[in-house]
Structure 1
Amino acid sequence: MSRPRDTRQKDLLRPALDQIIDLKHPLVVLAGKIDWSFLEQRLGGVYKGGPGQPPLPVRLMAGLLILKHMHSLSDEVLTARWAENPYFQFFCGEEVFRHDLPFDRSSLSRWRQRMGEERLAALIQESLRVAQATGALSTKDLARVAVDTTVQPKAIAHPTDARLTHKAIEKLVGFAKDNGITLRQSYLRVAKKAAIMVGRYTHAHQHKRANRQLKFLRTRLGRLIRDINRKIAAKGAEAPDLLARYGPLRDLAIKISMQTQRQRGQKVYSLHAPEVECIGKGKARAPYEFGCKVSVAVPITKPKGGLFVLHAQALHGNPFDGHTLAKAVADIKANTGRNP
């Protein structure tokens, strides 16, 4: 495992942060209550050895994530405020005040993606432990809880068969170009024109013409898949590595080429977010929402420290709400040590 880089150090020419801030400030007190070694043990195990820049300290990234949700800040605002707030820097483990940023805004997104759902659950466990230790969350607040599911919308374009097929063609051509695969034909120009014509014909209610252009797109997509399969098979020793990188994209492209508009069951609605599902909410303004179903549990009472999330989990496959209750109760017990 590669050791996270730690640029935090004392500077003899500058006073330490604990000498210029109020040690009774809520963030300072909270930083002393959190078990940072527990978070480093749970979250630091994701890093693996190998070439590249060492990762950022776990306390820095975990502290940023806690501050982000405590103050409801976006990544951009959090980055700007961290550079001007000594209490934010002390909470994240800095020794002296820094005018430069040791991280980039995109580091937050990459860190969240790398952690995954299971490791980020450790933050919920530690926050609830600190809340109970400080009296912000009492035992009576955990006796009765409210569990509900909702949809977490994803930032995707409205899915259409023509748009998805055209995007799959572009992705396959880009993969071939990046990996030195010479294609027989890319079909980029004719595929773009066909995708445009599908929209025009559909708008004009000329569905037969639109279906012909859609069939044209799917035919070209199938040709690209077969062409890349042949070229990778001819690579010899390089074939296994190429096939490992090409496999997920190929599977998505095959699903897109075979799925239909009125097909029931699992479908692909986005290439960059294949986990997206179509969920019917029954809303008049939006009958269907594209995203992932999530389960959330909160106390029914009003805790002294504000609203606390006792359980949060993504539910893949759009399960029935009643079937998710047992897992939610078990997760609440694991996070709080109490059986609601």
Structure 2
Amino acid sequence: MYKKVELAPVPPLDFELANGSKLSPDNRWVKMAQVIPWSEFESEYAQNFPTEMGAPAKSWRMALGALIIKEKLGISDRETVEQIRENPYLQYFIGQSSYSNELPFDPSLLVHFRQRISSNLINKVNERMVEKMWEITPVKPEKKKDSDGKNESPKFGKLIIDATCAPADITYPTDLGLLNKARVHTEKIIDILYKQIKSKINKKPRTYRNLARKDYLAVAKQRRPTRNKRRQALKKQLQYIKRNLAHIEQLIELGATLESLNKKKYKTLLVLTEVYRQQQWLFDNNKQSMEDRIVSLSQPHIRPIVRGKAGKSVEFGAKLSASCFEGYVFLDRMSWDNFNESGDLKAQVEAYYSFTGYYPESVHADRIYRTRENRAWCKEKGIRISGPPLGRPPANVSKEKKKQAKEDERIRQAIEGKFGQGKRRFSLNLVMTKLENTSSTAIAITFLVMNLSTWWRRVFCMFLCGSGKTMPVFGLNIIGAYILLKMRQEKLIFNSG
């Protein structure tokens, strides 16, 4: 059951503290709470609770706020709850009206928060939040009119697009290691099913688990086993799994039921059955890859993403297609299967148009996006796409074109910096959640928190610049002027006229 909060948000000065003091309205958590559209999407979150029976659920602001705090601070679920209990500013951020020394909720509820809040909902919140940030720092130009008085749609801004991969928390998969784990799971399932009908059969099915482990370790411990040794080890593990699956079927025929397996074990049984089928096909056909290949028993939705990067030719996780403009980054597409990101260019440009009301002046992307189809489409829309034209390069290139190419590449590096920020500062480099939907939510939260951090950095620098005018003794005027100059050069602060 969900009860919608109809009361107005509590001002920071009205937040009740034990010692009678007041919250500072200039605190970062207070400022960030003002730009997040809490009330606009509460009804959509309430759809997760169609019935009016049961205990009241935690509020939408508390659920989303807790996920933002966890990602912003880079801490675990348990530590997030402890930090909220100890910090009154965090309690104000999640919507409480007074300070409390009690735990706001159990740490396990964060898992349910990630399940209830979809990545699509977070993307909507992210877009609306950026719109509110733009209201504070206007960057959109007013629509111009031509001599006939008709409205034009002038080009505005620079759109930067690129793709990356968010690796999941799994061990590097190998065929032999995957089959060994599958064999171990089949042995555990046999033990569970055998306990049900122990009185009906005289002897437990033989699994040869000790011998199977020795066969696995004999090859797995070798640094560089030969191809024949690997195939022999794979063949043995496949035979062990085939025998165990046959035993499971026999136990079910004798009266054992799969209801004794919990939800996780039953899902694992379905997954390892498909893993056996795939690995047997690869072994029989002497192949190395196939479509929808499972590389993890605990996270079967993960697929290998061939990236071709130095040191990491293949990554295992979700592939992301993102766009960046005016310093803010947006998640446009997320898929667990590999895809060609060049097909997203048109949709990303149209999303930019629907968000800002203008087509971009230029699109900055790497070489994979510069296909003939995309070039022709951008030319039709009057949009310049970065990079050299198709065909043989000219013998003599003018200084203006060289300067333009260098400037385009400098602008394109902004989204690479965003990916670096998400992977070095936040959790985009290693997604620790295990389920498909919770992983998608965790990835989307990272983009939202990056935009919050960008906005707060700009507000802080503008405050520092303003402070420098009144405190020249400490040299803040020089520091503030330097930061303001650098941010304007990087187009991080915009003049509102």
Shorter-normalised TM range: 0.7 to 0.9
Q: What CA distance in whole angstroms lies between the structure 2 residues aligned with 1:62 and 1:205?
A: 50
SS in 1 for 2:44: helix
Q: What CA distance in whole angstroms lies between the structure 1 residues aligned with 2:314 and 2:35?
A: 44
- Call closer, same or farther: CA 1:157–1:295 in 2, change over 3 Å: same
- Corresponding residue for residue 304 of structure 1: none
* 2:268 and 2:298 in contact (8 A); partners too: no
Alignment-mate amino acid for residue 103 of structure 1:
F
What is the aligned counterpart of 1:216 among 220, 233, 236? 236
What is the aligned counterpart of 2:128 among 126, 130, 134? 126
Q: What CA distance in whole angstroms lies between the structure 2 residues aligned with 1:155 and 1:99?
A: 34
Deviations 1:186-232 (A, max 9, x none): 544333222212313x5363543443232121112122233334544
Q: What percent identity do the matched residue pairs reach? A: 22
Q: What CA distance in whole angstroms lies between the structure 2 residues aligned with 1:240 and 1:106?
A: 25
* 2:305 and 2:314 in contact (8 A); partners too: yes
SS in 2 for 1:226: helix
SS in 2 for 1:203: coil
* 2:306 and 2:314 in contact (8 A); partners too: yes
When normalised by structure 1's length, the TM-score is 0.77
Deviations 1:134-154 (A, max 9, x none): 33x632697332111001111
* 1:198 and 1:211 in contact (8 A); partners too: no
Pairs within 5 Å for 1:121-200: 121-135=123-137, 138-139=139-140, 143-175=157-189, 184-200=205-221
Question: Does 2:341 align with 1:321?
Answer: yes
Q: What CA distance in whole angstroms lies between the structure 2 residues aligned with 1:227 and 1:143?
A: 65
Residue 296 (structure 1) shift: 1.3
SS in 2 for 1:309: strand
- Call closer, same or farther: CA 1:28–1:245 in 2, change over 3 Å: closer
* 2:85 and 2:100 in contact (8 A); partners too: yes
When normalised by structure 2's length, the TM-score is 0.55
* 1:181 and 1:231 in contact (8 A); partners too: no
Q: What CA distance in whole angstroms lies between the structure 2 residues aligned with 1:118 and 1:173?
A: 40
Gaps of 5+ in 1: 302-306
- Call closer, same or farther: CA 1:4–1:256 in 2, change over 3 Å: farther
Residue 160 (structure 1) shift: 1.1
- Corresponding residue for residue 58 of structure 2: 56
* 1:232 and 1:242 in contact (8 A); partners too: no
How many residues matched?
323
Gaps of 5+ in 2: 142-154, 198-203, 361-497
Alignment-mate amino acid for residue 74 of structure 1:
I
Residue 58 (structure 1) shift: 1.9
Deviations 1:54-97 (A, max 9, x none): 6432211211233445x453336644432332222111111111
* 2:64 and 2:113 in contact (8 A); partners too: no
* 1:282 and 1:288 in contact (8 A); partners too: yes
- Corresponding residue for residue 90 of structure 2: 88
* 1:128 and 1:336 in contact (8 A); partners too: no
Deviations 1:244-266 (A, max 9, x none): 97775344323322333612433
- Corresponding residue for residue 249 of structure 1: 268
Deviations 1:94-150 (A, max 9, x none): 111122322344433442244332233233133223223333x63269733211100
What is the aligned counterpart of 2:296 among 265, 270, 277? 270
SS in 2 for 1:282: strand
Q: What CA distance in whole angstroms lies between the structure 2 residues aligned with 1:336 and 1:164?
A: 48
Question: 41-50 or 259-268: which moved more?
Answer: 41-50
Question: 287-296 or 184-193: which moved more?
Answer: 184-193
* 1:194 and 1:214 in contact (8 A); partners too: no
Deviations 1:306-337 (A, max 9, x none): x4223343123211111122343455556666
